[in-house]
Structure 1
Amino acid sequence: MSESRETATHPAVEPVVAQRGSSRFAAGEGPLPDPAGSHYERRIRSFQPRRSRVTTSQAEALLKRWPDWGLDIDGKRVLDLDEMFGGLPVVLEIGFGMGEATAQMAAADRGTGILAVDVHTPGQGNLLGLADRNGLENVRVANGDAIILLREMLDPGALDGCRVYFPDPWPKKRHHKRRLIQPDFLTLLASRMKPGAVLHCATDWEEYAEQMLEVLTAHPGFENTQADGGYAPRPAFRPLTRFEGQGLDKGHVVHDLLFHRK
């Protein structure tokens, strides 16, 4: 859609800084800063909401598409994924950044629904804008804590796959407990995945890759797709992202891990 038609549909929106604890959007019109509020226990989180600027185009995409394609993770309802995605198989993506790779994968496979979770408002707006411009009706954007989504809002066996690309490595040893790929997380995730569904992780942090491989190999709910029990080649469906390209330019080695749900 052209800039002029977008402006005609929605009032002009000035760039703003999205901050934790505040929101420019009314309930239902855009992502809320803390959708689960105090409904659930305090615990160590694997993510840290970032303060950053929401551009005019991102804000316009949020105002236009959030009511239909966005949802806040409030933990108060169980999602009907069949209704949400028109019966498509659904893959959960945890942490999509600015959404470019998500949009590419959605365009290349319109027969799969992608439930994309993040807490970064500019990224949410960017992905919704990409989905809108490219007619990607198989994308939904979820705002908030993926743990609450999995535990409170998805039925057992609801997911046909899960993608965790370049999660925060929390490199300092005292922060390793914040890493997402841990035994308890895998147990919860396994309960929400269909048998045979694939968990696909990727990281350019060598030590985290080793931990992922060790934890996944030891978990009774997952089985490595690689006969040698090691890392997998990057599958063609995972795009080479700008972030990944920058890492490769610096000499980083990217590891992909693909495990089946037993």
Structure 2
Amino acid sequence: MSDAQERAWSELAPHYVIDVPRAIASTSVHHEAEIDPAAVWRRAAPLVVEIGSGQGHAIVHAAASRPDTDFLAIEVFKAGLARTMLDADRAGARNLRLVEANAPEVLEHLLPEASVAELWVFFPDPWHKAKHNKRRLVTPEFAALAARALKDGGMLRLATDWEDYAQQMRSVLTGAPGFEPAFEGEWAERFDGRVLTAFERKGAAKGRDIRDLAYRRRAR
């Protein structure tokens, strides 16, 4: 990491980063690590969670624009989290928290059941080689964890610039218990709460269509 990123970890992490009890790996989450969002954010407010926040462009913009909402960025790359903290600090986004951990374990262990108002999965790694497709995030197992974390009526929002992954996402979520489509036709309208990021620009520049999906958590 750069000197600025190192400073972010030493100076800003105490406010922004949730200290997670680990299981085995450095990005794992212990099965008894559940947090109380009201205690972490020191208030009761809707919680929006982004999986794979990268350098934080989308979630920092959202957090700065919606001070009445709490935000959690999940990412495994420390440099990206450092950049997120630096930008959040400059933007005054004090309603944002970060966790360095594997997303499925955060959904399963760290977040209480029915605690999330919105869950975002924007431009996840497509693992575009066929032999690597099994590593993709959005699977029936992931859908079950997402359904666990979301409140009744909560939204799962997804976007990708890889057509076959978009189709896989749609197939998984269409058949997932606990979810119903929140759009008509083949694809959802572009989510207006998603700021244009480098990933989206890169995909569009290569001629790939950006596809959005949105699913609502059914009542339990």
TM beyond 0.5: yes
Q: Indicate if the aligned counterparts of 1:209 and 1:255 stay in contact, CA closer than 8 A.
A: yes
Q: 1:81-136, CA deviations, whole angstroms, 9 ceiling, x for partnerless residues?
A: 01212212111110011111211111111111111000111110000011111111
Q: Indicate if the aligned counterparts of 1:72 and 1:144 stay in contact, CA closer than 8 A.
A: no
Q: What corresponds to 2:147 in structure 1?
A: 190
Q: Indicate if the aligned counterparts of 2:18 and 2:99 stay in contact, CA closer than 8 A.
A: yes
Q: Which amino acid aligns with 2:141?
A: D
Q: What corresponds to 1:165 in structure 2?
A: 122
Q: What corresponds to 1:251 in structure 2?
A: 207
| Equivalence map 1:63-102=2 (5 Å) | 63-73=10-20, 74=22, 75=30, 76-85=32-41, 86-102=43-59
| Equivalence map 1:118-197=2 (5 Å) | 118-197=75-154
What is the deviation of 1:72?
4.2
Q: Which amino acid aligns with 1:118?
A: E
Secondary structure of 2:7's partner?
A: helix
Q: Indicate if the aligned counterparts of 2:123 and 2:161 stay in contact, CA closer than 8 A.
A: yes
Q: 1:43-69, CA deviations, whole angstroms, 9 ceiling, x for partnerless residues?
A: xxxxxxxxxxx1111111111111221
Q: What corresponds to 1:51 in structure 2?
A: none
Whole-Å separation in 1 of the counterparts to 2:191 and 2:51: 18
Are 1:234 and 2:190 an aligned pair?
yes
What is the deviation of 1:226?
1.0
Unaligned runs of 5+ in 1: 1-53
From 45, 56, 74, the counterpart of 2:3: 56
* Identical-residue share of aligned pairs (%): 37
Structure with bigger RCO (C-alpha 8 Å, 6+ apart): 2
Q: 1:163-217, CA deviations, whole angstroms, 9 ceiling, x for partnerless residues?
A: 0110011112221111111001111110111011000011001100011011111
Unaligned runs of 5+ in 2: 23-29
Whole-Å separation in 1 of the counterparts to 2:85 and 2:63: 12
Q: Which amino acid aligns with 1:183?
A: P
Give TM-score scaled by structure 1 length. Answer: 0.77
Secondary structure of 1:71's partner?
A: coil
What is the deviation of 1:77?
2.0
Whole-Å separation in 2 of the counterparts to 1:123 and 1:168: 15
| Equivalence map 1:30-45=2 (5 Å) | none
Give TM-score scaled by structure 2 length. Answer: 0.91
From 161, 165, 172, the counterpart of 1:208: 165
Whole-Å separation in 2 of the counterparts to 1:250 and 1:213: 23
Q: What corresponds to 2:65 in structure 1?
A: 108
Secondary structure of 1:122's partner?
A: helix
Q: Which amino acid aligns with 2:212?
A: D
Count of aligned residue pairs for this structure pair: 208
Q: Indicate if the aligned counterparts of 2:34 and 2:109 stay in contact, CA closer than 8 A.
A: yes
**Which protein is bigger by CA-based radius of gyration?**
1
Whole-Å separation in 1 of the counterparts to 2:2 and 2:114: 38
Secondary structure of 1:168's partner?
A: coil
Whole-Å separation in 2 of the counterparts to 1:147 and 1:219: 16
